[in-house]
Amino acid sequence: MRLLGLNQVLAGLCVVAGIFGIAADGAVEIKNVVVRVMERTGDKLFEEKLQYPASFDAVPKVKALSPLVISFDVLTNDTTLPLDQAFVSFQHTETKAEVALPARTTKNSGSYKLDVSRKVFRQNFGSVPGIYNVALVLGSFTEGGLFYKLGNVHMVASNKTKLKEPKVTYGSKPEIQHRFAEPQKMPNILFSLLFTGLTVVPFVALLAAWGRLGVNLKKLQLEPMGSVAFMGLVAAYMALAVAYWVGLKLFPTLGCALVLSLPTYLTGQYALSKRIVQNI
């Protein structure tokens, strides 16, 4: 994770704690600081035990196969202190680019450790080797913060690592050839009108058949509530058919039809049974 201005972040953390008056009488204390460079086999290439505010003078070489390990304990008033932020800052001495890696808790809430594994090394330092200033950036909303410079380390790139070089290409870019989609071939408008007319024919035929059979709508007054509900549901079925024809998908249409089926059956049966009883 690359961050810039960790000193400003830490200072802001302390200022916020002071503004709200939540700073305690104690302060962040750091002990048992150990910096190691180890082989994967367990052999120690470099080890330094520090007491705040001392730093190490040697510049150990760190490679992907010889990871850097930093461990420390954080206390306040001789009791362990869980931090709100605990980072190890690596700042390149030439480019001033800064990399901040989070330190994780280990055996308890006051012990922290950073292990620059092979993957972490390749992601953050493999392509940008050089000497880095190493510092601990610690912060607690209740106890303030601490910035502790540990020393310098030399991040060494392996022979297989390809250094990132900025690639700048000048000149005109290739012309973009774009072809718009051809419009779909639509049927003749007369065919569409003929199809629409054919869909209306059954409805007109239904009304004509009702007229010839002598359908008397006044009989609906014998059971107005059931008849109105039943005819309303039939109209809903017709509207659903129109919606499907206009653009509703098949499965939503079937789902709506299934929902309407039971109320339509019950209201129709209720209305017809009432009319039969009244006719008797």
Same domain, 108 and 55: yes
Q: Span 196-202, mean pLDDT?
A: 85
pLDDT band at 2, cuts 50/70/90?
very low
Residues above pLDDT 70, as percent of the chain: 80
**pLDDT number for residue 208:** 87
What is the structure's pLDDT at 255?
92
Provide the domain limits for residue 208.
189-279
Looking at residue 223, its pLDDT comes to: 66
Of 42-56, 133-147, 166-180, 255-269, which gets the smallest average pLDDT? 166-180
174 inside domain: no
What pLDDT, on a 0 to 100 scale, did the predictor assign at position 218?
Answer: 66
pLDDT at 19 over 60: no
pLDDT of residue 164: 54
**Domain presence at residue 175:** no
Task: Write the pLDDT tens digit of every residue in 219-238.
Answer: 666 667 777 888 889 899 98
Answer yes or no: is 193 within a domain.
Answer: yes
**Same domain for 202 and 145?**
no
Report the run of H or E that residue 40 belongs to, with start and end. none
Do you find a cis peptide bond into 187, omega within 30 degrees of 0? no
Q: Are residues 18 and 80 in the same domain?
A: yes
Which two three-digit tokens encode residue 210?
């009702």
**Secondary structure (DSSP) of 73-100:** EEEETTEE---SEEEEEEEETTT--EEE
Question: What are the φ and ψ backbone dihedral angles of 84, each rounded to 5 degrees?
Answer: -85, -25
- Number of compact structural domains in the chain: 2
Q: Worst-scoring range by mean pLDDT, 195-199, 250-254, 255-259?
A: 195-199
Q: Given this model, what pLDDT does residue 53 score?
A: 83
Question: Exposed, middle or buried: residue 166 (CB in 10 Å: 0-12, 13-18, 19+)?
Answer: exposed
Which has the closest alpha carbon to 150: 218, 272, 231, 56? 56
pLDDT, residue 20, reads 38
Is 111 a domain residue?
A: yes
Q: What is the pLDDT of residue 236?
A: 92
Amino acid (1-letter code) at residue 262 = L
> 109, 134, 155: which is the final residue of a domain?
155
| Domain shared by 36 and 151, yes or no | yes
Q: How confident is the model at residue 104 (pLDDT cuts 50, 70, 90)?
A: confident
Q: What is the mean pLDDT of residues 146-155?
A: 87
Estimate the crossing angle of helix 224-246 against helix 250-279, to 10 degrees.
160
Whether residues 36 and 132 share a domain: the answer is yes
As a whole-number percent, the residues of the chain with pLDDT over 90 amount to: 5
Contact between residue 37 and residue 60 where contact means Cβ atoms under 8 Å apart: yes
pTM above 0.75, yes or no: no
- Whether residues 149 and 258 fall in one domain: no
SS3 188: coil
**Average predicted confidence (pLDDT) for the chain:** 78
Position 22 scores a pLDDT of 37
